């Protein structure tokens, strides 16, 4: 696992200053503490920071191809590189190292951009072809590894694994994008379709760009997508067998490493599945790590401990204070962009713990998106069944009226929030799912904005790209479209961003076996009853894993990393919550109604209402703006 950087001129072949590349690399030393390198040629420069995982001494980067005609900087892992190496050697390729980086170079020289579908892995890389004078920028299928880029005023394209690398370049303009603020308030993160800084882009998952010195940067080209348009007709018994085979392959392929390897273990279905299959494949005890809280209602360590005991792992657990708010400023620096997923705090703590024992940790991320494990997906599936029974001409007036009349109950579990359900049923499925997914509803966001910001936002609404994505999805049903949206929108923007930044902040490589693309493609073909069965999501996966895990692990209510944000904002963070309204970067930006924010803060602190989610979002946005724009931070 590593970090990459680069500068490429699209208006001629001006020299690149190696010092700028080094500066862009130095700010991500945490991603690669084991080595660094810079390479320049007319019109192009590549930089690299290395965290050694495979071929520890033999694969320094930037790396040249065997014939010196191509140069590579690469962040990630290619899990099938040994198979590709044998295939390429049979075609005449010569290899000098034992790692996967050189395989990427040889694959490019033999197959061009058609090499991308051959890779099974997580990656973001830049490959410069000295003969063709082109630069290939590519990102893996699901977006496990990040890649940011910007075009500067002189026509040069700068890129890097993290936004802070682009900020290290003196020519990058720091103008904030108000539409990204709208996105952030809706989702709690800035999705890959946008950046908090105007002019900065994120290469979308499953896409590449091929840059030339004599042309402006072309739009990204999609090289992979997942289709929900087909259905597998096999029996449940056969589907279970096929799934188990794919799960085993996905896990074992990610256990190759020349450094200590382990796993995160929460005691939930997904991490327990990964640990069970690791234990089955390993001759030595698996190293597992879990984080607990000193508040019983938030603590899952007993479940993790039971699974660890079941598979005789070398288990490490740590209890941290639920009042871990001291991490806030570190998180802001870690993510660069505003990021309000509060589970980032315990995620960082479990990465810290894991790094004391291993250099690579396998996680259980991805199964909820692939197999319909989120409660919101199950609710959406049932709502779609209700929509199918009633014509839209009846649904809108009936459920719309009920939604307006029914009292709000945001404090209640989703099944008991009838107002939200009625409002959702009055809309099309795509609109209903986008509203269910939003952290802050459109009307709540609008109430926060100042008149000036409302004019800047114009007609744009954060839900629109998600609704369009769902409507254009290669899918048959509403459940398909919801899962497609989670895989393509929420997963890379939220879940994978969280794990990448938290793990790399402590120089830990996190691998996601449940995001193996063959597993994702298999899951997308499953009949709906194999995904959602009654009120149970992830049905086939849970049935398949009954041979390994007890029912109380497989079917207990989903918990996840929970953080007591509401209590913090009434206690130690009450002062910062009040300060958002006045004397903050947010107030200096002039985008928000200060009186409205002050009223929300006082109502929450007094316990009259729970505004913790929006206050946490505003607090994290305020801290991020102060770092991104020095004028606002003063």
Give yes or no for a contact between 528 and 381, defined as CB atoms under 8 angstroms apart. yes
Give yes or no for a contact between 124 and 145, defined as CB atoms under 8 angstroms apart. yes
Helix (H) or strand (E) holding 319: strand 314-320
Q: Could you give the CA distance from residue 436 to residue 311 in angstroms, rounded to a whole number?
A: 38
- Count of residues for the chain? 634
Count the alpha carbons within 13 Å of 270 in the hemisphere toward its beta carbon. Answer: 24
| CA dihedral angle for residue 142, residue 147, residue 151, residue 154, rounded to 10 degrees | -150
Write phi, then psi, for 471 (nearest 5 degrees).
Answer: -70, -30
Give yes or no for a contact between 592 and 449, defined as CB atoms under 8 angstroms apart. yes
Helix (H) or strand (E) holding 49: strand 44-50
Give yes or no for a contact between 94 and 87, defined as CB atoms under 8 angstroms apart. no
Residue 570 CB partners (closer than 8 Å, separation 6+): 604, 605, 607
Nearest CA to 298 out of 363, 345, 330, 263 is that of 345
Assign 607 to helix, strand or coil.
coil
Q: Could you give the CA distance from residue 307 to residue 238 in angstroms, rounded to a whole number?
A: 27
Does the annotation mark 435 as catalytic?
A: no
Given the structure tokens 């609710």, which residue do they identify?
Answer: 379
Give yes or no for a contact between 354 and 130, defined as CB atoms under 8 angstroms apart. no
> First CA to last CA across the chain, in angstroms?
36
Q: Could you give the CA distance from residue 202 to residue 160 in angstroms, rounded to a whole number?
A: 10
Give yes or no for a contact between 313 and 279, defined as CB atoms under 8 angstroms apart. yes
Q: Could you give the CA distance from residue 552 to residue 302 in angstroms, rounded to a whole number?
A: 12
> Which letter, b or e, does each residue of 108-145 get, where b requires 16 or more Cβ atoms within 10 Å of its Cβ?
bbbeeeebbebbbbbbbbbbbbbeebbbbbbbbbbbbb
Q: Which of 2, 115, 289, 435 is catalytic?
A: 2
Give yes or no for a contact between 548 and 244, defined as CB atoms under 8 angstroms apart. no
For 318, counting Cβ atoms within 10 Å of its Cβ (0-12 exposed, 13-18 middle, 19+ buried), the class is: middle
CA distances 95 to 78, 86, 128, 291, Å, are 16, 10, 18, 42
Q: List beta partners, residue 259.
A: none
* Sign of the C-alpha dihedral computed for residues 503, 169, 39 and 139 taken in this order: positive
Q: Could you give the CA distance from residue 82 to residue 97 in angstroms, rounded to a whole number?
A: 12
Given the structure tokens 């359900």, which residue do they identify?
Answer: 421
Nearest CA to 185 out of 441, 434, 432, 408 is that of 441
Give yes or no for a contact between 582 and 598, defined as CB atoms under 8 angstroms apart. yes
Nearest CA to 73 out of 100, 40, 46, 102 is that of 46
Is it true that the peptide bond before 280 is cis, omega within 30 degrees of 0?
no
Give yes or no for a contact between 495 and 340, defined as CB atoms under 8 angstroms apart. no
Catalytic residues, by residue number, are: 2
């Amino acid at each position: 696992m590593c970090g990459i950087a680069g500068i490429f001129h699209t208006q001629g072949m001006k020299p690149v200053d190696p010092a700028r590349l080094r500066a862009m690399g130095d700010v991500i030393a945490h991603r690669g503490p084991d080595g660094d390198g810079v390479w320049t040629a007319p019109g192009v420069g590549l930089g690299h920071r290395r965290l050694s995982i495979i071929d520890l001494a033999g694969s320094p980067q930037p790396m040249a191809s065997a014939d010196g005609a191509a140069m590579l900087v690469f962040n990630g892992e290619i899990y099938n590189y040994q198979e590709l190496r044998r295939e390429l050697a049979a075609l005449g390729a010569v290899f000098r190292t034992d790692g996967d980086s050189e395989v990427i170079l040889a694959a490019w020289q033999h197959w061009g951009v058609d090499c991308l579908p051959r890779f099974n892995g997580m990656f973001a890389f830049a490959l410069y072809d000295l003969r063709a004078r082109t630069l290939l920028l590519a990102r893996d299928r699901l977006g496990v590894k990040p890649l940011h880029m910007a075009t500067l005023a002189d026509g040069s394209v700068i890129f890097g694994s993290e936004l802070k690398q682009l900020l290290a370049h003196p020519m990058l303009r720091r103008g904030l994008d108000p539409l990204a603020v709208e996105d952030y308030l809706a989702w709690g993160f800035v999705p890959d379709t946008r950046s908090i800084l105007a002019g900065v882009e994120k290469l979308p998952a499953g896409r590449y760009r091929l840059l030339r010195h004599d042309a402006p940067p072309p739009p990204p080209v999609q090289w992979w997508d997942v289709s929900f348009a087909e259905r597998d007709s096999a029996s449940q018994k056969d589907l279970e067998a096929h799934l188990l085979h794919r799960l085993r392959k996905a896990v074992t392929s990610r256990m190759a490493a020349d450094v200590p390897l382990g796993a995160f273990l929460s005691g939930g279905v997904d991490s327990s599945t990964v640990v069970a299959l690791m234990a089955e494949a390993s001759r030595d005890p698996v190293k597992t790590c879990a984080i607990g809280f000193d508040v019983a209602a938030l603590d899952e360590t007993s479940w993790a401990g039971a699974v660890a005991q079941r598979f005789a792992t070398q288990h490490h657990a740590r209890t941290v204070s639920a009042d871990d708010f001291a991490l806030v400023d570190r998180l802001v620096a870690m993510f660069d962009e505003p990021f309000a997923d509060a589970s980032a705090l315990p995620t960082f703590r479990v990465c810290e713990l894991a790094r004391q024992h291993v250099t690579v940790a396998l996680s259980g991320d991805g199964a909820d998106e692939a197999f319909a494990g989120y409660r919101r997906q199950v609710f959406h599936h049932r709502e779609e069944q209700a929509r199918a029974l009633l014509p839209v001409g009846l649904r809108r007036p009936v459920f719309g009226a009920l939604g307006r009349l029914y009292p709000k109950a945001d404090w209640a579990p989703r099944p008991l929030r009838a107002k939200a359900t009625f409002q959702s049923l009055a809309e099309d499925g795509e609109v209903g799912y986008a509203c269910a997914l939003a952290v802050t509803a459109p009307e709540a966001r609008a109430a926060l904005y100042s008149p000036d910001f409302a004019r800047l936002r114009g007609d744009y609404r954060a839900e629109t790209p998600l609704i369009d994505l769902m409507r254009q999805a290669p899918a048959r049903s509403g459940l398909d479209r919801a899962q497609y949206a989670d895989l393509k929108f929420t997963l890379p923007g939220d879940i994978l961003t969280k794990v990448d930044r938290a793990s790399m902040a402590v120089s830990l490589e996190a691998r996601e076996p449940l995001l193996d693309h063959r597993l994702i493609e298999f899951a997308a073909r499953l009949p709906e009853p194999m995904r959602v069965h009654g009120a149970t999501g992830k049905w086939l996966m849970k049935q398949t894993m009954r041979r390994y895990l007890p029912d109380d692990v497989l079917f207990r209510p989903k918990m996840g990393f929970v953080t007591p944000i509401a209590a913090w904002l009434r206690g130690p963070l009450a002062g910062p919550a009040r300060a958002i309204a006045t004397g903050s970067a947010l107030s200096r930006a002039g985008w928000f109604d200060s009186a409205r924010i002050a009223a929300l803060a006082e109502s929450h602190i007094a316990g009259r209402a729970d505004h913790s989610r929006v206050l946490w979002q505003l607090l994290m946005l305020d801290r991020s703006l102060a770092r991104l724009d020095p004028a606002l931070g003063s």
